[in-house]
A and B are shown apart, each in its own frame.
Chain A
């Protein structure tokens, strides 16, 4: 969670919610949260477990960025 909220500080477009699963069982169920921490990205992709800063960011970016565009020659 620390990383997500630190990310939010760097860019206004980023929102970081820390959600206590047992208080919001429906939401946790919807996102199939069986182990924590689990980070859901834009309501779709997710990352399980706590990762080092760089790895976590790369996974987040990989989830939101469109696939690498084909190079034009």
Chain B
């Protein structure tokens, strides 16, 4: 049985039609000791099927050390949302509930290459010259 309901799939497919450039979801899983690990992977597989412009790459956290290092992954399940370039966008844990729509939002923003932010704020962000790490804690509601 799918995690995404049929009627939701129709809606998501419609939303993803706005995509311009291809987006890749790079997923890291460990499958051990993780309540949601397998479910996260299944959810991503189902999402990836909803647009031709969306693809999914799966890596093992314990075995694919090179990729783990490349993306700086320190915990799993982890999912990177990227296009030709890594923009530093990661989801740790299952992007379900409210965060599912955040995932779709990330996919679309990356695909459009547009943050959708106010011009004034874009200017402020461009002036940041040292690494900035934002960790946003959420719960699956």
Contact = CB atoms under 8 A, between A and B. Distances in A.
Given A2-B102, A13-B129, A54-B118, A23 B93 contact: yes
A42 interface: yes
Contacts of A36: 137-139
Contact of A13 (B105, B118, B132): B132
Interface residues of A, number: 42
A15 B99 contact: no
Nearest to A6: B115
B2 interface: no
Contacts of A1: 99, 102, 136, 138
Interface string B5-26: 0000000000000000000000
Interface of B: 34-36, 75, 77, 81, 87-95, 99, 102, 105-106, 109-110, 113-118, 120-122, 124-126, 128-140
Nearest to B92: A19
Given A13-B130, A16-B88, A31 B137 contact: yes
A20 B75 contact: no
B138 A7 contact: no
A45 B104 CA distance: 28
A6 B129 CA distance: 17
Interface of A: 1-24, 27-28, 31, 33, 36-43, 53-54, 57, 60-61, 64
B92 A20 contact: yes
Nearest to A9: B115
Nearest to B77: A23
A16 B89 contact: yes
B117 A6 contact: yes
A15 B88 contact: yes
A8 B134 contact: yes
Question: In this complex, which of B36, B88, B116, B136 has the most chain A Cβ atoms within 10 angstroms of its Cβ?
Answer: B136
